[in-house]
Chain A
Amino acid sequence: MAMQTVTTAVAGLGMREFTGGSGDPLVMLHHSFGNPGWMPIHEALAAHYAVHALDLPGYGGTEGSERPDWARHPRDLALLVGQWLRANELGPVELVGCGFGGWVAAELATMAPELLKRLVLVGAAGLLPENGRIYDQFLVSHSDYVEAAFSSTEAFEAIYPRNGDETEEHPLGDDTLVVWDMNREMTTRVGWKPYMYNRRLRPLLGGVAVPALVVWGESDTVVPMECAHAYVEALPDARLEIVPDCGHAVDLEAPESLAAIITGGDS
């Protein structure tokens, strides 16, 4: 399917997206480690929707003046996504947020529910687990963290192939490492502490009247399953779908399953 890269000027920044497909608009927000490109999940959804895979400001290989230096909280990114939706006259949209992007999506839903047709949260951060803990990327290497988002090394390597030479110190490509580090820096800027939650989000979720779908990998070791239940409980009109044998990054590890859940089974 034809995919193109489009950049929109918002608040003095160039916000970049990969876009393809046709139909109602669907916007995807990526994990804290970034969107690796026009991926199978985008391709699968593009058969049903006009898919907009947006790079959150400061992600996707940007730094310096291309970055919103003033942004200090994921809510600031949610505000920018809202401005971007309005600038492109896209709303109301299906808003799909994965991991950290799920947190941003949930924040936007509490601020501007009129921009959403549906909220889809996939392994979303944003709520403080009562029992478990959100896996802290800042205590581990970039590659160990991203690998933890998959249920197996094979699933990780299907997206981030190593160059096969295990004797090398760092078998991943330079570009991957550099973009991961830029993305981690941006996550540091907006999400260092408290780590991956906002105590002020949960009380506001009750005001999100649009339908919500919460999707979780059965083997998610990054954001505990209890957060899925917490979202379903807090959102007035939400249901939960669990993807078996899948880790945190459902969008990357099980794109067909996720697309089927989002489209209602006819993917």
Chain B
Amino acid sequence: MFLSYFTEQPMSAYPADEGLKEGFTSVMFSNKYYDPVEGSRLFNERIEEYKLADQVGFDGIMVNEHHNAPFCMQARITVMSSILAAITENAKIVQLGNPLPTYDSPLMFAEEIAMIDMISKGRLISGIVRGAGQESVCLNANPAYNRERFNEAHDLLVKTMTDDGPFSWEGEHFQYRVVNPWARVLQKPHPRIWVPGVFSAETIRWAAQHRYPYISLNTPLHLTGDLWQIYDQAALAVGYEPGPENRGYLLRVHVQEDGDKARDNAREFMWMQGEFTGIGHPYWVSPSGYGSSARRLDYAKMANSKVTGSRAAPFEQQLAAREIVAGTPDEVIAELRVVLETCRPSILMLWGNDGGVNHDDSLRCIELMGTEVLPALRDIGDELGLHDPIELDTPVSLALTPPDELNPIEEAADERPEDTSDSRALKMFR
């Protein structure tokens, strides 16, 4: 199993009452409420926690990027990745992910990740995402061309990593007369690319068609079966047999010696879902043209609804459904066994600390995970045959799979709804 640590890096030190008064805390929520003194403290606490995660045996540290919102402090994923490259020794740096469509220069991004891969001595896993709609709003990247830009930036990125320069690039969205960066990725043929998402059928298929593992971001456990069915069908169609090595799962998990304290701290996960402050409007989270047209009516209704505030399920309900797992190490291990048996991922991201969980409790959570939870999960993973792509040394992509290993079959007509992503994604991020 590949076991990774994650925190959304919340900027919890802001006046929450101002957020409640506004009714939202993203995009237009004024950064006059951002206290850089607190920001400095929080960044440095997170860095100490990452160092500990590396020391206690996590296989990876997952980082991400969001904009204009206190729920995530990281405005540039490659900055934190660079820091991790220098201060950690063993853990992979798992970017989940780089919001490619929001970057106006994929070439500059390719240079950054080549530097990170070299400095980290080949520890980079460079995940890519479309970015939530509000990232398109904040960085002013046209949301209607989000997928076009994603596809084109991906193709350019892979070519830049695998082909010698100079070459030119004449795309719809990006043009370069010379692609010839004086920085090359260390890992050959290129760092692994993983694709995270909540539940977008389109993205799941895309990941499967490229043979990139799909990391399901806290998708309700009972839906993951449907999710892997979509993935597996697309994988078989392009010619390879998918398995746990193609599956990742991110789950909110908090551990303390005292189970009640753990559950108390785990309530802070609701902070991220806007229960305490509200987060954003649907027309920011999913601007017109960003989501699937199959969901247009549902989306338009939600966007024009007068209902405000969090749409997240109550804490107790999420706990019961194992969308949040919290307790003593033994309690958590028992719950995670069920998760692993149900979802069968080989990549598990443990989202350990969020909201206002303090530094000491965060460190203790990481330590207990390392000493007690991770070894148990490795045993369960072996018992269940959950072997990750690095362990199995699978090809990094379909394009780099030897053709004689592929056996494409004709895809059966898919009778499921075209896309079930948007409303779920919206619920997740409100």
Contact = CB atoms under 8 A, between A and B. Distances in A.
A143 B304 contact: yes
Given A140-B283, A141-B281, A181 B288 contact: yes
A128 to B, nearest CB: 16
A169 B306 contact: yes
B299 A169 contact: no
Contacts of A221: none
Interface stretch (A100-108, A188-196, A233-241): A188-196
A56 to B, nearest CB: 16
B304 A182 contact: no
Interface in B282-321: 283-284, 287-289, 293, 296-297, 299-301, 303-307
B300 A185 contact: no
Given A63-B293, A188-B143, A189-B144, A141 B303 contact: yes
A178 B294 CA distance: 11
A180 interface: yes
A143 B301 CA distance: 10
Contacts of B301: 169-170, 174, 177
A177 B300 contact: yes
B300 A142 contact: yes
A188 B289 contact: yes
Given A178-B297, A178-B300, A185 B144 contact: yes
B289 A189 contact: yes
B358 interface: no
Contacts of A64: 293
Nearest to A187: B288
Contacts of A141: 281, 283, 303-304
Nearest to A143: B304
A139 B305 contact: no
Contacts of A189: 142, 144-145, 289
Contact of B144 (A143, A174, A188): A188
Nearest to A69: B148
Contacts of A138: 137, 283, 287
A169 B287 contact: no
B297 A192 contact: no
A27 B300 CA distance: 30
B28 interface: yes
Contacts of A174: 297, 301
B394 interface: no
Contact of B142 (A169, A182, A193): A193
Contacts of A117: none
A170 B140 contact: no
Contacts of A193: 140, 142
Interface in B38-94: none
Interface string B137-157: 100101111000000000000
Contacts, number: 66
Given A181-B288, A185-B289, A188-B144, A142 B297 contact: no
Interface residues of A, number: 23
Contacts of A139: 27-28, 137, 283-284
A209 interface: no
A75 interface: no
A172 interface: yes
Contacts of B297: 174, 177-178
B422 to A, nearest CB: 12
Contact of A184 (B28, B137, B288, B305): B288
Nearest to B28: A139
- The residue in B281, B288, B299 that gathers the most chain A C-beta atoms within 10 A of its C-beta is B288
A178 B307 CA distance: 19
A170 B300 CA distance: 9
Contact of A185 (B28, B288, B305): B288
Contacts of B144: 185, 188-189, 192
Contacts of A177: 297, 300-301, 304
B310 to A, nearest CB: 15
B137 A170 contact: no
A91 to B, nearest CB: 31
A95 B187 CA distance: 61
B279 to A, nearest CB: 16
A143 B281 CA distance: 13
A178 B300 CA distance: 6
- The residue in A169, A172, A177 that gathers the most chain B C-beta atoms within 10 A of its C-beta is A177
Nearest to B284: A139
Given A140-B283, A188-B288, A189-B289, A181 B145 contact: no
- The residue in B284, B289, B304 that gathers the most chain A C-beta atoms within 10 A of its C-beta is B304
Contacts of B143: 188, 192
Interface in B235-281: 281
A139 B297 CA distance: 19
- The residue in A64, A182, A192 that gathers the most chain B C-beta atoms within 10 A of its C-beta is A192
Nearest to A138: B287
Interface string A103-141: 000000000000000000000000000000000001111
Interface in B364-393: none
A235 B223 CA distance: 60
Contacts of B287: 138, 188
Given A181-B288, A188-B288, A189-B289, A169 B305 contact: yes
A172 B302 CA distance: 12
30 contacts: A64-B293, A138-B283, A138-B287, A139-B28, A139-B283, A142-B303, A169-B305, A169-B306, A170-B305, A172-B304, A174-B297, A174-B301, A177-B300, A177-B301, A177-B304, A178-B296, A181-B296, A181-B299, A181-B300, A181-B303, A184-B288, A184-B289, A185-B288, A185-B289, A188-B144, A188-B287, A189-B142, A189-B144, A189-B289, A192-B140
Q: Closest 5 A-B residue pairs measured CB to CB? A: A177-B300, A185-B289, A184-B288, A192-B142, A169-B305
Given A170-B304, A174-B301, A188-B142, 5 more contacts: A139-B28, A139-B137, A140-B283, A177-B300, A189-B145
